Amino acid sequence: MPTSFAVTTRTTASVEDLFDASLSIDHHLESMRSSGERAVAGVTSGTIGLGESVTWRARHFGIRFTMTSRITALDRPHRFVDEQTRGPFRSFRHEHVFRSEGTRTVMVDTLTVESPTLGVPAFGTLVERLILVPYLRRLIRQRNAHLVAAVAPTPPAASSS
């Protein structure tokens, strides 16, 4: 059975800037540098668009993974969805939603994942809840912190007179 969770990020960056940065392969690679993530096929740099795919190669839990995902929905600058088409999960769907709340932008990442059962269905569910979801939640927060730092307006520097 798939497991879903959401991560909410608030920032002063514009909806449009944050949306565009979220579709950037380059920003994704920078944010995932610690896992040695690389884009090895499909769209490997710049901005990915509707119907396009990228194949990622990275090391997580000491294991090398390869995953291909495709942008299956895109409504700029409000929402897009990427879904695994080939890779380690039974299913992987990541919905990105962007909205304005006053002077702030709210980005909500909703992931729905189903890990392989490894022959024992209850084992897959246990792995999802105890290991995979906390790990993915941390990766999304790390990615979002990078995106916000890349696009959020910086406060003016203090001047000395």
Residue 87 lies inside a defined structural domain of this protein: yes
The CA distance from 58 to 62, in Å, is: 10
| Total domains, the chain | 1
Higher model confidence: residue 32 or residue 52? 52
pLDDT value of position 161: 43
Residues 108-153 have pLDDT tens digits of: 999 999 887 555 555 566 677 778 899 999 999 999 999 999 998 7
Look up the CATH number of the domain holding residue 114.
3.30.530.20
pLDDT value of position 116: 72
Burial class (CB in 10 A: 0-12, 13-18, 19+), 119: exposed
What distances in angstroms separate CA 153 from CA 12, 14, 150, one per listed residue? Answer: 7, 9, 9
Domain assignment of residue 30, given as a range: 3-151
pLDDT value of position 26: 96
Residue 137 lies inside a defined structural domain of this protein: yes
Residue 156 lies inside a defined structural domain of this protein: no
User: Do 127 and 113 meet the contact criterion of CB atoms below 8 Å apart?
Assistant: no
Residue 158 lies inside a defined structural domain of this protein: no
Residue 15 lies inside a defined structural domain of this protein: yes
